[in-house]
Amino acid sequence: MKSYGLLLICSLTMSITIKAKIDDTVITVEWENNEAVKALSKIASESAVTINMSQYGGFEQVGPLGQSLPRNDSQTTTAPGDIVLYSGNQIVVFYGSNTWSYTRLGKITDKTEAELKTILNKEKVTLTLSANSDEPTTEPEQPEKKSLVAYFSVTHNTKTIAEYISEYTGSTLYEIVPKQPYTSEDINYSDNSSRTSIEQNDPNARPEIASTIDDIDQYDVIYLGYPIWWGQAPKIMYSFLESVTIKEDAVIVPFCTSGSSPIGMSATNLKQSANAANWLEGRRFAASTDKTTVTQWIDSLNLK
């Protein structure tokens, strides 16, 4: 009888060890294990990164990276030694504290608060980052992320973008279908008594959905698409989010189509109806957006 050995599938991945220096002082940093740091490590392994920083607010040094990293911003109160990403492309090193929306990158672990003040409390400093790409470690391969595109669309503009995303990412496509379909009279925004006018003006309106979605908690990434109706998401999007339990650490990527309005507060308001914490900023598309623009945006999210 043949016997088969157990095949362990592993992949070579880079450990996150980015060396850091502020002016001439070497600092030890405990880096976060997130997409932003992975991307930063990759950049720093290609060639050392020099960030010219300026003092701001009496509590931080901030400077441009020169490119954007994937962000996962959340309201954060920083402590001395914290290193964060601000606005996707600015690196901030704290010697004091501030509360703002940041993506955490790491924490300086080998300096006291007083030492940090001495190093950082000056008009300008230079942060240098370098990473070794020649130290591969063997780590179990991460299971592939499962993704879903859940969308609502009446006149098919959002549907087209949803299909581009689904095709490009291999995501499951799920249409949020209203139990009572929207007629052209229903979506007449010039009529104050049309169905959409009434629903959008009623904070408690939750139009019914025709079918339920199975096992939504299997998805790690959920692209959530809708048209803008008077600057907001249609109320059926609230019906959807309030009727499902999304995996707690899932990433939600809102997207919308509109005549001209930005995604603005529509996604921020929707977020309050979802249990998942990781909402990305989201993106608005015009009805005529081509597939390349959509796929470039997906690449920039670095979610694969």
Ligand X SMILES: Cc1cc2nc3c(=O)[nH]c(=O)nc-3n(C[C@H](O)[C@H](O)[C@H](O)COP(=O)(O)O)c2cc1C
In the complex with ligand X, the residue whose CB is nearer, 70 or 254, is 254
Q: Which residue, 302, 245, 304, is CA-closest to 39?
A: 302
d(CA 206, CA 273) in angstroms, rounded, equals 12
148 Cβ contact partners less than 8 Å away, ≥ 6 residues apart: 171, 172, 174, 216, 219, 221, 222, 223
How near is the Cβ of 162 to ligand X at its closest, in Å? Answer: 9
How near is the Cβ of 3 to ligand X at its closest, in Å? Answer: 57
In the complex with ligand X, the residue whose CB is nearer, 47 or 192, is 192
In the complex with ligand X, the residue whose CB is nearer, 96 or 231, is 231
The one-letter code for the residue type at 258 is S
Place of tokens 């990158």: 105
Q: Among residue numbers 46 through 75, which ones bind ligand X (CB under 6 A)? A: none
Task: Write out the DSSP string of 244-259.
Answer: ----TT-EEEEEEE-S
In the complex with ligand X, the residue whose CB is nearer, 169 or 197, is 197
Q: Is 198 in the site for ligand X (CB under 6 A)?
A: no
In the complex with ligand X, the residue whose CB is nearer, 125 or 253, is 253
Q: Among residue numbers 114 through 173, which ones bind ligand X (CB under 6 A)? A: 153-159
Task: Single out the residue of 39, 187, 205, 303 in contact with ligand X (rule: CB under 6 A).
Answer: 187
How near is the Cβ of 280 to ligand X at its closest, in Å? Answer: 20
Interface pattern 231-270 for ligand X (x via CB under 6 A): x-------------------------xxxxx---------
How near is the Cβ of 158 to ligand X at its closest, in Å? Answer: 3
How near is the Cβ of 216 to ligand X at its closest, in Å? Answer: 21
The one-letter code for the residue type at 137 is T
In the complex with ligand X, the residue whose CB is nearer, 124 or 156, is 156
Name the residues that contact ligand X, by CB under 6 A.
Answer: 153-159, 187, 189, 196, 227-231, 257-261, 287
